[in-house]
Amino acid sequence: MFEIIKFNPRIWFFLGFISCFLMLSTGAFFQFIMELEPCPLCISQRIAILILGIVFLMGAIHNPLEKGIKIYAILGMIAALAGGGISIRHVWIQNLPPDEVPECGPGLGYIFENFPIIETLKLMLNGTGECADVLWSFLGLSIPAWTLVAFLFLGIMSLVQIWNKPLNG
């Protein structure tokens, strides 16, 4: 069944890393070129993408054997699930009725400078009113919805590596 997608695991992990790099580059494009200010949940998703990308890069550089492939695959799946969970929360907030949207909080710079780290993490993961704004969409899906699709794809790609065996030669 998996013979069609049977590549050297190093290639799969490198493709995952490139995907994460492209996602972070796209986020930077939206932020710095299109001037779309990221909300706390956007930043949290970027952190999850970065962690997932690091796992993929480590897997590609290490080029592990069967047991190592499974470890990297599970770590990648965990990172993708965490990022997907944040994306689901973001999409949910975007689809709330206007009267149920959480209040907007202070800017991230202010939060990082004046709040304890636990409060900062809580605010970043819970989202605020600006997280409900849909600033861009493509084919009817917002940025967080596309990010969720990407996390699902990368999570499945990572999970499939559990059955992938290193190719000789």
Q: Which pLDDT belongs to residue 1?
A: 47
> Do the domain assignments include residue 130?
yes
The proportion of the chain whose per-residue pLDDT surpasses 70, expressed as a percent, equals 76
Residue 42 included in any domain: yes
**Furthest CA-CA distance within the chain:** 61
How many H helices and E strands in the chain? Answer: 6, 2
pLDDT per position as a tens digit, 103-130:
656 566 666 677 777 777 776 666 555 6
The whole-chain average pLDDT of the chain stands at: 81
> What one-character DSSP code corresponds to residue 131?
G
List the domain range (segments joined by +) for residue 71: 8-163
In a domain, 139, yes or no: yes
Structure confidence by residue, pLDDT tens digits, 66-87: 888 889 999 999 999 999 998 9
**pLDDT for residue 166 is more than 80:** no
Q: Which pLDDT band, with edges at 50, 70 and 90, does 148 fall under?
A: very high
The answer to whether residue 1 is domain-embedded is no
- Look at residues 127, 120, 52 and name the one whose alpha carbon lies nearest to residue 84: 52
Q: Which residue has the higher pLDDT, 39 or 100?
A: 39
Report the pLDDT averaged over residues 31-44.
84
Q: What is the pTM of this model?
A: 0.79
Contact 72, 153 (CB under 8 A): no
CATH number at 93 reads 1.20.1550.10
For residue 48, is it within any domain? Answer: yes
Within a domain: 3: no
Number of domains comprising the chain? 1
Does some domain include residue 125? yes
State residue 54's pLDDT score.
Answer: 96
Q: What is the pLDDT of residue 130?
A: 67
List of E strands, the chain: 137-138, 141-142
Residue 2, domain member (yes or no): no
Q: Could you give phi then psi for residue 115, rounded to 5 degrees?
A: -115, 150
> What integer pLDDT is reported at residue 74 of this predicted model?
94
